[in-house]
Structure formats: structure tokens, C-alpha cells
Amino acid sequence: MIIIGAGFAGLCMAIKLKQAGINDFLILEQDAEAGGTWWANSYPGCACDVQSHLYSYSFEPNPDWSHMFGRQPEILGYQRHCVEKYGLSPYLRLSSAVTCAAFQEREQRWHVETDDGARYRAPVLVAATGGLSRPALPDIPGLDRFEGEIFHSARWDHDYPLAGKRVAVIGTGASAIQFVPAIAPAVGHLYLFQRTPPWILPRPDRMISRFERWLFKRWPVTQRIFRSLLYWRLESRAVVFTVWPRLGVAIEAMARRHIRRGIPDPALRKQVTPDYPAGCKRVLLSDDYYPTLNRTNVDLVTDPIREITATGLVMADGHETKVDAIILGTGFQATAPLPPGVIVGRGGLDITERWSGGIEAFKGISVSGFPNLFILNGPNTGLGHNSVIFMLEAQVRYVMDGLAAMEQSGVGALEVRPAVEANFNRHLQRRLARTVWASGCRSWYLDANGRNVTLWPGFTVEYWWRTRRFRLRDYQTPAPPAPAAQQQAA
């Protein structure tokens, strides 16, 4: 098996393979270290907004989390610990970006090439490339003309000294609201360009006390109970997002109070107050974002950016703000998680062509036309309310069950039946149309056609239930190659 990506998903897959006694696999990772999103996102203030006791593997509890919400270095440290404890280093090929993985029909093997010229062949391919790994650059004219420093939040340039500089930040999403408070005290002046304000709630963070850590170590069952309590508390939030979106008014009331407490200036309060239902975009958590906006060296700019010049940003009214650096907190290509040419299925079909009408998969994992390909954190498996680690553990269990089913049935290749896949997605989209995410705002959850292709429409327990068994009858052995393809292969 070839696993692409050594983030939480790829590492989980590798651990479960090893535990099942399967050792003939490799993990190809484009970055210089394992960690995935927690390696790529090293911006100041980077942290997780799901509690660490839940945002970690169920089978590898860490009694030593220092805070309720883990900081990026601590989460990366946890991943390093997993690599070491489960002996994954020999299976890792770092700084190896996959340039093409193509399914060879006659051989029923995936042929995989990396940018360092290496070639591999494997019957099974796992794409654990992450839903939020391709930075999205804003479509603002002149972006490439800027002559100062410019970088995306997921490609932070730690060598660039921000101290004393005039800095523009574009975007006010989950990333920006974390790094803006972290850099504001150091920069000369910060201009924060907001297109749409997010709903923000207080962040119930705290240190985990020495007593609690001792307790978790001494009686691991206490940590399991703690994790379960966190899980069910977060799980209950699915009610607001997917069952009764009108309950979102309670979130809005709390968020409005948070604004009043954090910002004294009525004009500024108005600018940061969203005009769409809470939950439509991701609800964010922060205690230091609003106070940062009160700083004398921070300006919130809500006028649309017309263009970027060599020296700064020009507003719709023609006024130019000159800056030394621009930081793009503009998010990720969540609805186009894979670039063209990288995953090529049966009959030379590129996965981006297969997805030209929007990304979709069966249970977020299998795509028709792509035999023996399993996607982790795939289409419609993201969450607005709970830990994605729960989802990916369910996916890995499903893949393991699929491998066992292949072994038992003796078939060399399996491909999801197109009708099964289409039926699954029709049902999914019908449900998504009734959720808060379809209430009319622009968000990264929706693709260009306005379809929600990123989030799971209900409770995570339901996803767990639906993925607990790999049903062979949902799959078929791929059709034999067309004569032309056969000739080509010969």
C-alpha cells in the first residue's frame, strides 16, 4: 500500500496497518517532516479549537496535554511521539511529493511517481492529503505585482522580521484571528482587511492542572471518561447546525455579548458584527481577537480591496494603503483538494475531471472510476461541530475492513458501484440543503455551484455507524480496460 501524506490521517492508517501485521507499505510525504497541517501551519498563535483530549487518537491518549486547547508545537510533538512509538520512521519517505499516481488496469496496480524521481507500484493507494492543505490565494488583481514581503498563513516566513513593519493582513477566518493577536504587539502598524466578519465565541481554555495530569496517568479510565464527556458535549452541537438551525440565535446572543465586552467603540462593534446566521460559516473561538482590534496600531478595514500595487493595497475609493508586508489569511482550496494530474484512475480519468461537477465520494472514501483508492478526510467528511480525528479513525477502520474483504474474496481490485455512490450523494445533498450551512452565506464549505461538498450533514455517531462495515455489495470489480487502453498498456 502507498499512503500519500503523513498527517494525522496517514499516520493513523500506518499505525493500524502495522497493528494488523501488514508491513509492506510506504508513506510519501511532501514536507520535510511528518505532521501534515500541524507541520505546515506554524504561524504565531497557531492552536487547535477542538480540545486536545479529543483532538488526538482514541488509542493513544496523552495524559500530559498542558492546555485544554493544544498549541501547534505541542500537537506536532504528539505526532512525533506517535511516529516514534509506533516505529513509523522506516516507512516514511519525507520531502517526496507525489507528482502522479495512476491506476494501471492490466496489472491492477497503482503506479506512483514522486518529484525526486522515485517510482513505486502498489495495489492499494490511500490519499491522506488533507482537505485543507492547498492554500487559496485571493483573486485580487495585482497580487503578483507587490514588491514587498508576501506569504500565506500556511507558509509562514519565519525569517522575515515583522517587528516595526507596516503589515496588511487579508482575511478574518480561523487562522487570522489567531495570528493577528500574536503579531500585533510587535508590528509597527497592522491593517486588517475584513470582507465578512466571523461569529466568535469565548475560548474556554485553561491549563490542565498537575492533579488532573496525575489522575489521568494514575487512572487512565478517568481520561477516557473526560474524553467521552468532551465528545458528547461537542456532538450535541450538531443539533444546532443540522437539526434546528434556529437555535443558532443562542450562539448569536453569546457572540454579541462577547463583542460588547471586548470592544468599547460602537462603530467598531458594528463592523465586526456578522449579518448572517451563526454556524453558516465556522463559529470561531478567541479571547484576544476583539481586544487586539482596540490597539492603536491596528486598523480594521472593511472597504473592498480593488487591487494590489507594488507598494500596497488600493481600496474601491482609490485610496492606497502602503505596506511592507502582506499576510494572506485567505484559507484553503477545500472544494478542490487535489491538483490536476496527480490522481489518475481507470481509462486515464483524472480525478479533477471526474469531479468537474463538484467533489464527491461514497462515504467520503471511495470514488467510482478509481479502484483500490481510499481517501481519508475526503468529500463531505469535515465537521463544524466535533473532532475530525473521530471521523478519520472511522475511515481507517473502514479501509482495514475493506482490505480484509478483498483478501477474503480474492479479488484484486474493488471499485464503488456508480449507482451506490450517486444514491449516497443524492441523499447527502438533500439533507445538507436543510442545514444552517445552506442559509445563504459565502463559505469554504460550498463549491462554485453552491453545493456543500465538505461537511458531514449530521452526527458523527451516524458516520461511525455507516462506516463500521465494508459492504462488498457496494463495490464491483472494475470493468476490463477498453481495447484502446489495452493496446496502449501493451
Name the residues that contact ligand NAP, by CB under 6 A. Answer: 47-49, 132, 138-140, 153, 170-176, 178, 193, 195-196, 282, 305, 329-332, 442, 444
**463 to 245, 395, 466, 468: CA distances (angstroms):** 20, 9, 5, 8
Which residue from 322, 319, 467, 337 is spatially nearest to 391, judged by alpha carbons? 467
Which residues, at least 6 apart from 340, have a Cβ–Cβ distance to it below 8 Å? 350, 352, 353
Instruction: Output the smallest distance, CB 74 to ligand NAP, in A.
Output: 13
Which residues lie closer than 8 Å to 228 by C-beta, 6 or more apart? none
**60 vs 307, beta carbon nearer ligand NAP:** 307
Cβ at position 8, least distance to ligand NAP in Å: 12
Q: Which is nearer to ligand NAP, 51 or 368 (CB)?
A: 51
Report the amino acid identity of residue 16.
Answer: K
User: DSSP state, 444?
Assistant: T
Minimum separation from the CB atom of position 328 to ligand NAP (A):
8
User: Is the Cβ of residue 52 or residue 96 nearer to ligand NAP in the bound state?
Assistant: 52
**Cβ of residue 389: shortest distance to ligand NAP, in angstroms?**
12
Other CB atoms within 10 A of residue 483 CB: 8
Q: Closest CB to ligand NAP among 72 and 114?
A: 72
Minimum CB–partner distance for residue 166 and ligand NAP (Å): 18
Beta-carbon count within 10 A of 349 CB: 17
Alpha-carbon distance of 199 to 90, in angstroms, equals 44
Specify whether the CB–CB gap between 420 and 362 falls below 8 A: yes
Give ∠ CA 413-418-419 in degrees, rounded to 5: 130
* Beta carbon nearer to ligand NAP, 196 or 222: 196
**Shortest CB 152 distance to ligand NAP, Å:** 9
Element holding 407 (H helix, E strand): helix 388-409
CB closer to ligand NAP out of 372 and 435: 435
- Cell readout for 5 is 501524506
Closer residue to ligand NAP, CB minimum distance, 177 or 413: 177
* Residue 15 to residues 18, 27, 86, Cα–Cα distance (Å): 5, 11, 6
CB of 175 to ligand NAP, least distance (A): 3
Q: Which residue is nearest to ligand NAP (CB)?
A: 173
Q: Which is nearer to ligand NAP, 84 or 303 (CB)?
A: 303
The distance of closest approach from Cβ of residue 115 to ligand NAP in the complex, given in angstroms and rounded to an integer, is 25
